[in-house]
């Protein structure tokens, strides 16, 4: 199994984290985004979107972190991380959608502007981030996990950019339930971190 990877990418980290929690070994293929390796023809043949991550599992190639989480959990998770029933899948998917939209456009973009000197509107991204964090906080004030009363890929999908949002100058102090959830995730057997994830 090969993961086309970038150490500081929250989306790549989601996949590394789930693989660790599943106890699956993989080869990391580091991609130098600054050098434009993700836009070269040989990588575009793997992922025509020109983004990381992408996963090659014995010749089956899949792109997009959310899709990869669903694939890995479905194939290797024995129903633990991705449920078999439609109700459960819907409950998890609504959080994957939050992860792909508000968490990216808010938390991830707010982080990328100061950290990676990405052009953009920092206050606008921070406002979206705070809205997403408030949704998570409201849910986690009443529940230990995002879906099904147990850890699922919903948690794995939303965790990285929530935990890294302080790098986008969004303080986590107003979100005690969120911070307690971080601790629960870090206590999961097999957990691995990434640079910045323990920064605040």
What pLDDT digit, counting tens, does each position of 26-85 carry? Answer: 999 999 998 999 999 999 999 999 999 999 999 999 999 999 999 999 999 999 999 999
Residue 10: per-residue pLDDT: 97
Q: For the chain, what are the domain ranges?
A: 2-76, 86-186
Q: What is the pTM of this model?
A: 0.96
Residue 76: per-residue pLDDT: 97
Measured in degrees and rounded to the nearest 5, phi and psi for residue 169 equal 65, 35
**What is the spatial distance between Cα 72 and Cα 33, in angstroms, rounded to a whole number?**
25
Please determine, looking at this structure, whether the domain spanning 86-186 carries the CATH number 1.10.10.10: no
Does residue 200 register a pLDDT over 60? no
Tokens for 100, please give them: 């792909």
Strand partners, 27: 2
Pick the CATH number of 2-76 from 1.20.210.10, 2.30.110.10, 3.30.1330.200, 3.40.30.10: 3.40.30.10
pLDDT tens digits for range 110-138? 999 999 999 999 999 999 999 999 999 99
**What is the spatial distance between Cα 79 and Cα 96, in angstroms, rounded to a whole number?**
17
Strand pairing of 60-63 and 27-30? unpaired
**What is the spatial distance between Cα 107 and Cα 80, in angstroms, rounded to a whole number?**
27
Residue 198: per-residue pLDDT: 76
Residue 199: per-residue pLDDT: 65
**SS3 (DSSP) at 63:** strand
Q: What is the DSSP string of 147-188?
A: BTTB--HHHHHHHHHHHTGGGGT--STT-HHHHHHHHHHHTS
For tokens 């991204």, the residue is 125
């Amino acid at each position: 199994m090969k993961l086309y990877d970038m150490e500081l990418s929250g989306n790549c980290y989601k996949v590394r984290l789930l693989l660790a929690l599943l106890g699956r070994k993989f080869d990391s293929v580091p991609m130098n985004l600054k050098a434009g390796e993700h836009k070269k023809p040989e990588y575009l043949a793997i992922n025509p979107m020109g983004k990381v991550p992408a996963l090659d599992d014995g010749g089956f190639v899949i792109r997009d972190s959310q899709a990869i989480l669903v694939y890995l959990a479905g194939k290797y998770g024995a129903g633990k991380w991705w449920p078999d029933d439609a109700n459960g899948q819907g409950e998890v998917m609504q959080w994957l959608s939050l992860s792909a939209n508000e968490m990216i456009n808010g938390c991830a973009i707010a982080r990328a502007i100061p950290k990676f000197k990405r052009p953009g509107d920092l206050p606008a991204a921070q406002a979206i981030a705070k809205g997403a964090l408030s949704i998570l906080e409201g849910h986690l004030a009443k529940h230990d996990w995002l879906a099904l009363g147990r850890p699922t890929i919903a948690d794995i999908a939303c965790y990285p950019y929530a935990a890294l949002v302080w790098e986008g100058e969004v303080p986590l102090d107003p979100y005690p339930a969120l911070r307690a959830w971080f601790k629960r995730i870090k206590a999961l057997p097999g957990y691995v971190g990434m640079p910045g994830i323990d920064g605040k």
